[in-house]
Structure 1
Amino acid sequence: MSTTVTDEQVQALAATAKSFSLALLHWSPGRTMDGADEIERQHQRRMVSLRADGVIAVLCPVASDTVAGVAIMTVPAEQAAQIMAADPCVQAGMMHCDVHPCHGFPGDGLPA
């Protein structure tokens, strides 16, 4: 780390925090079931649609045999859990999802 940050800067940033939900998708043993490719395409279309609708602020598929992806969602954790429970891959037993309330800072984003 080369940037020095003061306690006042940390407090000023913390004052701007907004509530979000963190959805962590994990692969389940059903990942390789018959028809998995089509179910995963349905999942992908749904996730991109949720992103386009603003329900997902940041969408990050993960290249892993255990973690399938991460989404920062703009809805409360209870609603995010309901949304993710209706996901095609979750319903098929290909993935399971853990949802946690979190905070983020408006304007943060991925570099272009």
Structure 2
Amino acid sequence: MSTPVTDEQIRALAATAKPYSLVLLQWEPERTPDGADAIELEHQRRMVSLRAEGVIAILCPVASDSLAGIAIMTVPVDEAAEIMAGDPCVRAGMMRCEVQPCHGFPGDALPS
């Protein structure tokens, strides 16, 4: 850490925090049932659609055998959990979903 940060800067940033929902999608052991490729494509279509609608602010697929992806959703935790319960991969038992409340700072973004 080379950039000094003052207490005032920390307090000012903290005052801008907004609630979000952190979605963790993990692969289940039986992630390749019959038709898995088509189910996963529908999952991807749905996630990209939610992103286009602004329900997902940040979408991060993960190249891992355990963690499938992370999303930060702009809706409350209960609504995020309900949305994700309808996910094709979750419904097919290919993924399990965990939703946690979190806070973020509006304007933060992934670098280009």
Q: TM-score, normalised by structure 1?
A: 0.99
| 1:20 and 2:20 matched | yes
Q: Which runs of 4+ in 1 moved over 6 A?
A: none
Q: TM-score, normalised by structure 2?
A: 0.99
Q: Which runs of 5+ in 1 are unaligned?
A: none
| 1:81 and 2:85 matched | no
Number of residues paired by the alignment?
112
Deviates more, 1:42-51 or 1:27-36: 27-36
Alignment of 1:84-99 (within 5 A): 84-99=84-99
Deviates more, 1:27-36 or 1:16-25: 27-36
| 1:51 and 2:55 matched | no
Equivalent residue, structure 1, for 2:62 = 62
Q: 1:59: Cα distance to partner?
A: 0.1
Q: Which runs of 5+ in 2 are unaligned?
A: none
